Amino acid sequence: MQEEVQGLAWGPEVAPVFDDRGDVLIQKMAKPKHGKSTGDRRRKHRHWRVTVYYGGGERFARVYIDIQRARRFAERQKKSPVVTRTRIVRVR
């Protein structure tokens, strides 16, 4: 439902601001009463853990946020004669 305020149409999400004479000064977005919160606005990314297993039973792990970099690191480590295997796992 929209109502006419001095020739301007205001929707349910927009609230006008009036001065003491009743003239419209500015329009502001009304704050939502509930529903989706703004939450975390940081850039979303996934984490990838590369585990390198050595012949002596030792292991080494490194975490990347880019799957291509994780794959390149695993391929580079596989070239070493002491590495038995590598593993890439998505970490939550």
pLDDT (tens digit per residue) in 5-18 = 555 555 555 565 66
- The predicted structure's pLDDT at residue 42: 77
Mean pLDDT on 13-33: 62
Residue 30 has pLDDT above 80, yes or no: no
Residue 32 or residue 90, greater confidence: 90
User: What whole-number distance in Å separates Cα of residue 20 and Cα of residue 23?
Assistant: 8
- pLDDT, tens digit (0-9, with 9 covering 90-100), for 42-82: 778 889 999 999 999 999 999 999 999 999 999 999 999 99
Decide if 30 contacts 15 (C-beta within 8 A).
yes
pTM score, whole prediction? 0.54
Quote helix, strand, coil % in the chain, to nearest 5: 15, 45, 45
Residue 80 or residue 1, greater confidence: 80
